[in-house]
Amino acid sequence: MRAGLTIGVVTLAAAITAPTVAQTSVATSDYVFEYSYPPQAARITPLKAWLEADKAKRRAWLVRTSAQARREAKAAGAPFRAYDMQYGWDVVADTPRFLSLSSASYSDTGGAHGNGSSGGLVWDKQAGRRMEAIALFVSAAAFQSAVMTPWCRWMRAERTRRVGADVASDTTFGQCPPVKDVTVLLGSSNGRSFDRIGVIADQYVVGSYAEGPYEHTLPMTAAVLRAVKPQYRSAFVAN
């Protein structure tokens, strides 16, 4: 993965630095495509199968759309710039029951600038299934109250720091986003239990493109723990 693609999820990780073992890199006259995932994911057969299917789907879209863009550029007598797609998964936490992964992506499809985005998933080793992190919580409303409320206090202060005092009059950005619009990452400092939670708002979610993404890590407090579904609470620990 290229250095400019990284989103700062390392603050959530338990110092996991294992090398990537599954990496695809393809460059043609139409596109550049990169996709990678870590060895911890590759060792889980059904998760590896899902990642390989995801890779194939993304590359197929890139092949199709970049070829179409080249044809349209040629017909219009316009220059064509090769498309670019980079997608990488990294380990946030690897506990006895769960593997928590984050994704960082970058795509450039001929616009004024490329765009980056974040994502994540949790693999339940016990149940053998892939989940969104929010699925471990009682409800979106419970998560919004326990996690997004303090996160949004941080976000508003951070926007003021990045942009200036004039953000108070900004009616376009700066609103507290619903959980469906952000990336939720579950982290562990001890490799045994989830004890921290990260939230990333990509560009345009709470601020302009120039402001970049907003990412902040919160501790696993008693209030957050109460918002976790009872069947998963043993996998968490409050600070």
pLDDT of residue 172: 82
Q: Does the pLDDT of residue 11 top 60, yes or no? A: no
| pLDDT tens profile 210-236 | 999 999 999 999 999 999 999 999 999
pLDDT of residue 124: 98
Residues of the chain with CATH 3.30.565.40: 3-131
CATH code of the region 3-131: 3.30.565.40
Q: Mean of the pLDDT values across residues 97-107?
A: 96
CA neighbor of 97 nearest in space, from 221, 191, 230: 191
Structure tokens at 60: 């197929």
Q: Mean of the pLDDT values across residues 132-159?
A: 96
Least confident of 22-31, 66-75, 107-116: 107-116
Per-residue confidence band for 6, with pLDDT thresholds at 50, 70 and 90? very low
Cα–Cα distance for residue pair 34/3, rounded to 1 Å = 13
Q: Does the pLDDT of residue 1 top 80, yes or no? A: no
pLDDT of residue 5: 34
Structure tokens at 128: 């053998």
Per-residue confidence band for 7, with pLDDT thresholds at 50, 70 and 90? very low
The single residue listed with the structure tokens 């993404």 is: 213
pLDDT of residue 112: 67
Q: When comparing pLDDT for 40 and 170, which is higher? A: 40
Cβ–Cβ under 8 Å, residues 88 and 34: yes
| pLDDT tens profile 19-58 | 546 899 999 999 999 999 999 999 999 999 999 999 999 9
Q: When comparing pLDDT for 152 and 17, which is higher? A: 152
CA neighbor of 193 nearest in space, from 111, 104, 112, 94: 94
State the pTM of this model: 0.88
Cα–Cα distance for residue pair 239/146, rounded to 1 Å = 14
Residues of the chain with CATH 3.90.640: 134-235
Mean confidence (pLDDT) of the chain: 90
pLDDT of residue 46: 98
Cα–Cα distance for residue pair 227/147, rounded to 1 Å = 9
pLDDT of residue 21: 64
pLDDT of residue 15: 36
Q: Mean of the pLDDT values across residues 100-114?
A: 87
Q: When comparing pLDDT for 166 and 64, which is higher? A: 64
Q: Give the DSSP per-residue string, the chain.
A: --GGG--SGGGGSSS--PPP-EEEEEE-SSEEEEEEE-HHHHTSHHHHHHHHHHHHHHHHHHHHHHHHHHHHHHHHT-----EEEEEEEEEEEE-SSEEEEEEEEEEESSSSS-EEEEEEEEEETTTTEEE-GGGGBS-HHHHIIIIIHHHHHHHHHHHHHHH-GGGGG-SSS-PPPPGGGSEEEEE-SSSSSB-EEEEEE-TTTSS-GGG--EEEEEE--HHHHHTB-GGGGGGB---
Strand-pairing partners, residue 137, are: 228
Q: Say yes or no: domain 134-235 is CATH 1.10.10.
A: no
Least confident of 17-31, 104-118, 183-197: 17-31
Q: Does the pLDDT of residue 166 top 80, yes or no? A: no
CA neighbor of 5 nearest in space, from 29, 36, 27: 36
